[in-house]
Amino acid sequence: MTRRYYSPSLPAAGGLVELMDQEAQHASRVMRAQVGDGVILFDGQGHEAEATIQAIDKRTCVCQCDPPAAVDRELAGPLHLAVALPKPDRAKEMVERLCELGVRSLTPLVCERTQRPPTDALLEKLRRIVVESCKQSGRNVLMEIRPVRDFQAYVDQPFEGRQWMAHPSGGSGPIAEDFAHGTPVAAMVGPEGGFSDEEVARAEAAAIEKISLGPRIYRIETAATVLAVWLAGHRE
Ligand code: SAM
């Protein structure tokens, strides 16, 4: 498989591209790429281009790339998740899965029962994991790791589409006909202690429907992954 590298701005007519620090180091130190190797560059906004390495050392990598083309491997409609993040190691694995599954954005949610809100350093690590996941999975659009939002601020923000809250006491959820192809979809997953009764009431007041993912209680990262598989299944 041709190695993929992330380069946020690809020249429309093709030309020389110098990879950013981390990508150049990955190419030279980890992948041991050589001058003449064929690679694929993607810009994280839906385009990719074939390229050939022209010069490489431990810190820099310069490629000659063809004009980029739009290559769409996204879901048929955007799927946004808001999740009260689990502990960092679990959050990293979760982000990898969600990115592979085509989730468009992840909003870290701070709920009443959130134990420790995510740090900026963790969010930066998660953004780097998104890049790695896109490289591995062939995805050309970066999953956006949005800024941390307080539960109420998240629920209050306008959203044009269907919204759900994963809750063990919820209903059976959407069926394929419930939302037109392409309608934006958003869903929330709560913290280890679950959403509080007050939060459930606030979500319901904002017309966010509760859905159950089955009779067993999942960890946060499992619930988010199950939810993404399930909702993405309606959108492939
Ligand atoms: N005791 C908590 C409760 O009753 O909500 C369990 C919390 S669970 C560890 C963390 C989050 O995963 C929940 O807030 C919910 O959003 C989601 N979740 C876990 N299992 C679920 C299920 N079977 N159905 C729907 N959501 C689930």
Provide the pLDDT for residue 236: 64
Q: How far is the CA of 7 from the centre of ligand 1 (A)?
A: 38
Tens of pLDDT, residue by residue over 146-167, are 999 999 999 999 999 889 999 9
Q: How far is the CA of 228 from the centre of ligand 1 (A)?
A: 14
Q: Could you tell me if 61 and 92 lie in one domain?
A: no
Q: Could you tell me if 61 and 154 lie in one domain?
A: no
* Among 48, 70, 92, residue at a domain's last position: 70
Determine contact, residues 203/154, Cβ cutoff 8 Å. no
Q: Could you tell me if 61 and 102 lie in one domain?
A: no
Q: What is the 3-state secondary structure (H, E, C) of the chain?
A: CCCEEECCCCCCCCEEEECCHHHHHHHHHHCCCCCCCEEEEECCECEEEEEEEEEECCCCEEEEECCCEECCCCCCCCEEEEECCCCHHHHHHHHHHHHHCCCCEEEEEECCCCCCCCCHHHHHHHHHHHHHHHHHHCCCECCEECCCEEHHHHHHCCCCCEEEEEEEEEECCCCHHHCCCCCCEEEEECCCCCCCHHHHHHHHHCCCEEECCCCCCCCHHHHHHHHHHHHHHCCC
- What range does the domain containing 29 cover? 4-70
Provide the pLDDT for residue 70: 98
Ligand 1, residue 211: give the atom nearest the CA: 25
Q: Could you tell me if 105 and 61 lie in one domain?
A: no
Residue 119 tokens, joined? 């740090």
Tens of pLDDT, residue by residue over 8-22, are 999 999 999 999 999
Q: Could you tell me if 95 and 33 lie in one domain?
A: no
State how many domains the chain has: 2
Provide the pLDDT for residue 10: 97
Q: Could you tell me if 57 and 126 lie in one domain?
A: no
Q: Could you tell me if 65 and 83 lie in one domain?
A: no
Q: Could you tell me if 129 and 219 lie in one domain?
A: yes
Q: Could you tell me if 117 and 162 lie in one domain?
A: yes
Provide the pLDDT for residue 171: 84
Provide the pLDDT for residue 1: 79
* Among 51, 70, 89, residue at a domain's last position: 70
* Among 70, 89, 111, residue at a domain's last position: 70
Q: Could you tell me if 137 and 65 lie in one domain?
A: no
Provide the pLDDT for residue 176: 52
Ligand 1, residue 219: give the atom nearest the CA: 9
CATH code for the domain in which residue 60 is found:
2.40.240.20
CATH code for the domain in which residue 213 is found:
3.40.1280.10
Q: Give the residue, by CA position, lying nearest to ligand 1 atom 7.
A: 194
Provide the pLDDT for residue 232: 82
Q: Could you tell me if 62 and 126 lie in one domain?
A: no
What value of ipTM does the predicted structure carry?
0.97
Q: Could you tell me if 22 and 104 lie in one domain?
A: no
Cβ neighbours of residue 169 closer than 8 Å, sequence gap 6 or more:
210, 212
Q: Which residues of the chain have pLDDT under 50?
A: none
